[in-house]
Structure 1
Amino acid sequence: MDLDKSLNISAAGMRSQGTRLRVIAENIANAGSTAQTPGGEPYRRKLVTFENVLDHAIGVETVRVDSIVADRGAFGRRFEPGHPAADEDGYVLTPNVNSLMEMSDMREAQRSYEANLKVIESSRAMLQKTIDILR
């Protein structure tokens, strides 16, 4: 049944976007953290990658999280000579998290999650109408 396939595809999309939202929340939560020791690295931003996977049970491709990887972008630097993690020049490394970018990614993931939820709600409503007609 095609509605069953659409439910499975949307559920896989919701799982993937849910994971993405959790990773984004972790990035935002750690945006202001620093290393605890001089020369140590602060929090490194994480990125979620997706892949298409053939679901043999239903015969369609669905999405899933391929991996969660560390962003290899450069850390920021802030002059704060009194900080415990400051180097010999007084600079502290800051996370490579851009809060504006994270909020943008969060909105995109949220909209994708909501779109998948709408598909599930529509499929459910169609199934209910079919049952009502068959009564």
Structure 2
Amino acid sequence: MSLMKIFDTAGSGMAAESLRLNTVASNLANADSVSSSADSAYKAKELLFAPTQESDGIASLDSDGVNNGVRMVGVSESQQPVETHYEPGNPMADQNGYVYGSNVNPIDELVNMISASRSYQNNVEVMNTTKQLMIKTIDLGS
């Protein structure tokens, strides 16, 4: 793999982790939201990733046929049931007095946030190490 492709690979990883962090932030922001029906209640979003393709503008395969990038291919909603609370005085309550909360699990989201943050940091470290190796290689030639 050429050293320049490492930047493409790490850059696509950083972009993916950035999207993942934004999705986690959105889920956490809506963790305590309520709705008047189960269908309109906020459902946690989950990103779907796949290897990059040539059409993405990133060279996806190196000379050995190894994939070297990631891209987001879609967003799905969590299939966990939404929470139901009996609150007849709530203006959002349905005719039976129930409000419907989101199905966001804050603990799972915090774990996702830590994982995405560490992955992002690892990709930054890969880019920094590659840059340092390139500078050392240039210094050897002079």
Q: TM-score, normalised by structure 2?
A: 0.85
**Distance of aligned partners of 1:21 and 1:90 in 2 relative to their CA distance in 1, 3 Å threshold:** same
Contact 2:87/2:97 (8 A) holds in 1: yes
**Distance of aligned partners of 1:58 and 1:34 in 2 relative to their CA distance in 1, 3 Å threshold:** closer
- Structure with the larger strand share: 1
The answer for unaligned runs of 5 or more in structure 2 is: none
CA RMSD of aligned residues (A): 1.7
Cross-structure match for 2:61: 59
State how far apart, in whole Å, the 2-side matches of 1:31 and 1:98 are: 7
Count of residues paired in the alignment: 133
How many angstroms does 1:102 deviate by? 0.2
Cross-structure match for 1:69: 76
Deviates more, 1:89-98 or 1:18-27: 89-98
Cross-structure match for 1:104: 111
The answer for unaligned runs of 5 or more in structure 1 is: none
Write out aligned runs for 1:27-38 (5 A): 27-35=27-35, 38=36
State how far apart, in whole Å, the 1-side matches of 2:52 and 2:91 are: 47
Q: TM-score, normalised by structure 1?
A: 0.89
Runs of 4+ that moved beyond 6 A: none
- Indicate the SS of the match to 1:67: strand
Whether 2:101 is the aligned partner of 1:94: answer yes
State how far apart, in whole Å, the 2-side matches of 1:101 and 1:47 are: 12
Whether 2:56 is the aligned partner of 1:49: answer no
State how far apart, in whole Å, the 1-side matches of 2:60 and 2:87 are: 57
Which of 116, 123, 130 is matched with 1:123 structurally?
A: 130
Same amino acid, percent of matched pairs: 32
